[in-house]
Amino acid sequence: MSEIVAIEFEEEIMLLLVQAGAARSAAISALRLAREGRFSEAQQQLAAAGESISAAHQQQTALIGLDEGSGKLPVTLILVHAQDHLMNAMLIQDLAGEIIELYRRTAAGGTDA
């Protein structure tokens, strides 16, 4: 791998980590807001998590493009770490949406409203 490609690779991994971390933070923030009954703000944070996950997917796609599907890029610990962060952020976002809905229903008196 050339030095330029290696630098691009590292930059893309770091961007993936940043976006995944932002998504996770926003989803956790959404849960905390919902627990306080602040559902509108919780939904805004959940939407922010979704935007960060979309950005992380773009970084992931860029990494796949650098690899060209042929195993050109090394599978490093930081790459595995970044992928782990993205997967966890996606899971937290999905679960946060479900838990926020439960909080909302509980606040509404347990109805399906």
Q: What is the pLDDT of residue 55?
A: 93
Which positions of the chain have pLDDT values less than 50?
none
Q: What is the pLDDT of residue 59?
A: 86
Residue 89: both structure tokens together: 């952020």
| Annotated catalytic residue, options 8, 50, 62, 81 | 81
Q: What is the pLDDT of residue 37?
A: 96
Distances (CA, A) of 64 to 16, 32, 40, 68, 69: 12, 35, 36, 6, 7
pTM for the full model? 0.85
Q: What is the pLDDT of residue 100?
A: 97
Q: What is the pLDDT of residue 111?
A: 63
Q: Is 81 a catalytic residue?
A: yes
Residues 25, 27, 30, 35, CA torsion sign: negative
Residue 49: both structure tokens together: 């998590």
Length of the chain: 113
